[in-house]
Structure 1
Amino acid sequence: MALLALGINHKTAPVAVREKVAFSPEQLQDALLEACHEAQLAEVAILSTCNRTELYCASGVEGGRAVLEWLGRYHGLDYTDLEPCSYLHWDEDAVRHMMRVACGLDSLVLGEPQILGQLKTAFATAQQAKSVHSELGRLFQHTFSVAKQVRTQTSIGENPVSVAYAAVSLAQHIFTDLGKSRALLIGAGETIELVARHLQQAGVREIVVANRTLERAQKLSDEVGARAILLPEIPHALASADIVISSTASPLPILGKGAVERALKQRKHEPMFMVDIAVPRDIEPEVGELSDVYLYTVDDLREVIEENVKSRESAAREAESLISHGAADFMRQLRSLDAVDTLRSLRSKMESLRQHELSKALRQLENGRDPQQVMEQLSRGLTNKLLHMPTVQLKNATAQGRTELLELTEELFDLLPDSATEKNPE
């Protein structure tokens, strides 16, 4: 069984491409089952975030192209459009890649912790869809263990560097005093929660949280002293917002150019700062054409983030070492499991021979044969039966020039002379 990691991320494709291959949470269950069937995968899990879409697969056939073709078909895209911006890793490289992702070493924000939670959610979703079994299950659990080791043994996550932090940091550059600014946050997930906390710490004047369900928006609002509203109320709240930061899982834009134009008129064209962290995008790109709007996407935050990652580079090198050891250890475990079926078959065959010889011996005893003769015949017959096939195969192999089997047999049955016990020629 081959392990495969295939994906498209912020390093290989712009947000305009990434949003086309993103999966909404509602799509994942059916997509997992469809991927297994159409790409002939034994197991599959899908990770879809604002920065990446990745498929982790266990496949009996090396079908990287089949997986990418399925990804294209699912989203109505051509394979030739996706192939140049995709990447493919097999076996130990796939294991190492998943571990780097889990530890935040492959993220836009080096060492960011949110990706581990997103990977755990991807695993849980695949478990619910029954698209992961023993092989990917072991890989995910081992990956989570290595990620925990990296978090506890390195300083990879000590400094506050995240997409959320970068968005608020950029806002501070534009508004010299956030204490006079009002913020509208769209969504109530983990990223928006981080944004809200950073804004609260920065002393922003007012925060409004808009979400599809009021309960979740209210829960976050209670924690950060904000006001909760529903998505349809956004047009009314937009006119008072100096800062708009959005991160939802909506497949379609939530804010259009027309709504923002109307808000700007009410604001008498006072500038608005907007950050769209979502993939697919929550804010129509045309909004950025408006002269009084400063619209940034997740890709635009790269420069802000790069200024903050230098302190994590040393920790990242330590993390890479832990990941290399973790990947090698997992592959050793995987190879050792390959021997289980062979050993089980060997034991079954030996047990069958033992039962056959034992039955013969018991019948002879019932017929009054001398027990000592019966035992001698049992031991001799068992030895002959056990060694017959290996003897035939070794002779055939030697005749064909495959002498390496002789060396393996000597090692397997400990037939090599022990130099420590050999008689000293002097």
Structure 2
Amino acid sequence: MTLLALGINHRTATVEVREQVAFTPTQLESALAELRVLPGVREAAVLSTCNRTELYCVTGEAGERAILEWLGRFHGLETEALTQCAYHFLDNDAARHLMRVAVGLDSMVLGEPQILGQLKDAYQVARRTQGMGGELECLFQQTFAVAKQVRTETGIGRNPVSVAYAAVSLASRIFDDFSRSRALLIGAGETIELVARHLHEAGVKQLTVANRTRERAEQLAGPLGGAAITLDEIPEALVQADIVIASTAAPLPILGKGMVERALKRRRHRPVFMVDIAVPRDIEPEVGELGDVFLYTVDDLQEVIEENRRHRQVAADHAESLIEHGVGRWLYERRLRSGGELIRDVRARGEALRDQARDQALARLARGEDPVAVVERLAYQLTNRLLHRPTVALREAASDERQELLDAAAELLLDDAAKTSR
């Protein structure tokens, strides 16, 4: 059986495709049930986030195509369309990929910590639906151990490496308690989406997203418990906003000095932290001249970003080394499990032959046959039955000049004196 990791992510597929392939929480259990009954699929787990959908399966040689076709059927997509943006990893490469995902090395933001929690949720769902067997159980446990080691020893998640992280980091220097702060985000693109997520995780409970279309703003704000408004409603929202972060593709500024000045008067000059991430700028530079406004542009964030990226890259290099050790430990345990399964199979076959010979001997004794003859026949039959398959295999190996198999057989079957006499 083969360990397979099959999926799409933010590097290989557009957001439109990722949305179509994503599994909702209510779909996961039924999806896993369907996945498990595919021919050749022995174990399965599904990781589905806004940036990736990945299937981890223990399957046979033909399993990959069947799984990809199932993924297309489940979401109503053509298999060929998925093939163009899907990637796959096998065995130790699959294990390495999962560990890199768990520690954030494969994330949009290097080292982001949320993915580990999402992976643990995927693990729990797979366990509830009997998707976990010995192979995936061992892999996920090893992955969680590596992720914990990476977080403890490298500090990969401590330093912001994106504009979104840097903006929220700067805001934390001004506001001691995010839970009492209100945020206004202007735009609804990828950067603002990251900002919204980071602010929410930092404790901001009152969040408003302003966008040209209310529908897109609702898509972003809704899952975080925020409100959605159009750009026309910004002047009123500014009055309540302690944090304003803007990132649109507008050709002209959206926030002018006059608009902000009027809002400050109604705020009774409570301070406002503003970050203009857009190029061209969304906030007139003159806004920074107003008292009680702390205005930063994307250039002001670059020094923070670069410094923290250097720190995080060093941590990422260390993490890669820890992952290689983790993959090595997983492979070692996998070999031990494989050897254990072979030993159980060999012993089960030997015990079946033993029981068959014993029952036949007992039947002869019950018919009154000579005990000595019965025992001699038992010994002869048992020896022949146990050695028949190895003997045939050794003859075939000798005729094919497969010396490595003959040497392995000698190591397994002969004692030291017999090996010396060969």
Q: TM-score, normalised by structure 1?
A: 0.66
1:195 correspondence with 2:192: no
1:70 correspondence with 2:70: yes
Amino acid at match of 1:309: R
Higher relative contact order at CA 8 Å, sep ≥6: structure 1 or structure 2?
Answer: 1
Query: Offset at 1:41?
Result: 3.4
Partner secondary structure for residue 7 of structure 1 = strand
Q: Is the 8 A contact 2:102 2:147 kept in 1?
A: yes
Partner secondary structure for residue 308 of structure 1 = helix
Partner secondary structure for residue 145 of structure 1 = helix
Query: Offset at 1:355?
Result: 4.3
Matching of residues 259-274 of structure 1 within 5 Å:
259-264=229-234, 266=236, 273=244
Matching of residues 120-269 of structure 1 within 5 Å:
120-159=120-159, 165-169=165-169, 182-183=182-183, 195-196=199-200, 198=202, 208-209=205-206, 250=223, 255=228, 259-264=229-234, 266=236
Q: Is the 8 A contact 2:12 2:85 kept in 1?
A: yes
- Structure 2 unmatched ranges of 5 or more: 186-193, 212-216, 256-275, 279-297
Inter-CA distance 416–314: structure 2 relative to 1 (3 Å threshold): farther
Aligned residues: CA RMSD = 4.9
In the alignment, which residue of structure 2 is the partner of 1:292? 254
CA distance in 1, matches of 2:150, 2:172: 32
Inter-CA distance 400–249: structure 2 relative to 1 (3 Å threshold): farther
Query: Offset at 1:65?
Result: 3.8
Q: Is the 8 A contact 2:184 2:244 kept in 1?
A: no
Partner secondary structure for residue 33 of structure 1 = helix
Partner secondary structure for residue 85 of structure 1 = coil
CA distance in 2, matches of 1:78, 1:254: 36
Matching of residues 16-415 of structure 1 within 5 Å:
16-37=16-37, 41-159=41-159, 165-169=165-169, 182-183=182-183, 195-196=199-200, 198=202, 208-209=205-206, 250=223, 255=228, 259-264=229-234, 266=236, 273=244, 292=254, 308-355=308-355, 382-415=382-415
Amino acid at match of 1:209: Q
CA distance in 1, matches of 2:38, 2:315: 41
Inter-CA distance 290–129: structure 2 relative to 1 (3 Å threshold): farther
- Structure 1 unmatched ranges of 5 or more: 201-206, 211-233, 239-243, 277-284
Partner secondary structure for residue 21 of structure 2 = coil
1:75-126 C-alpha deviation (Å, 9 max, x unpaired): 4443444333332111111111001111112122222222111100111122
Partner secondary structure for residue 308 of structure 2 = coil
In the alignment, which residue of structure 1 is the partner of 2:292? none
Amino acid at match of 1:2: T
Query: Offset at 1:273?
Result: 4.5
Query: Offset at 1:38?
Result: 6.2
1:22-68 C-alpha deviation (Å, 9 max, x unpaired): 33323322333344456863332221223222221222243434433
CA distance in 2, matches of 1:15, 1:171: 28
CA distance in 2, matches of 1:416, 1:146: 42
Partner secondary structure for residue 53 of structure 2 = strand
Amino acid at match of 1:23: F
CA distance in 2, matches of 1:196, 1:340: 48
Partner secondary structure for residue 108 of structure 1 = coil
Count the aligned residue pairs: 364
- My pick for the range that moved more, 323-332 or 90-99, is 323-332
Query: Offset at 1:195?
Result: 2.0
Identity of aligned residues (%): 45
CA distance in 1, matches of 2:159, 2:183: 24
CA distance in 2, matches of 1:305, 1:16: 29
More helix as a share of residues: 2
1:173-211 C-alpha deviation (Å, 9 max, x unpaired): 9x99x99984159xxxx996852575x7xxxxxx5436x
CA distance in 2, matches of 1:341, 1:197: 45
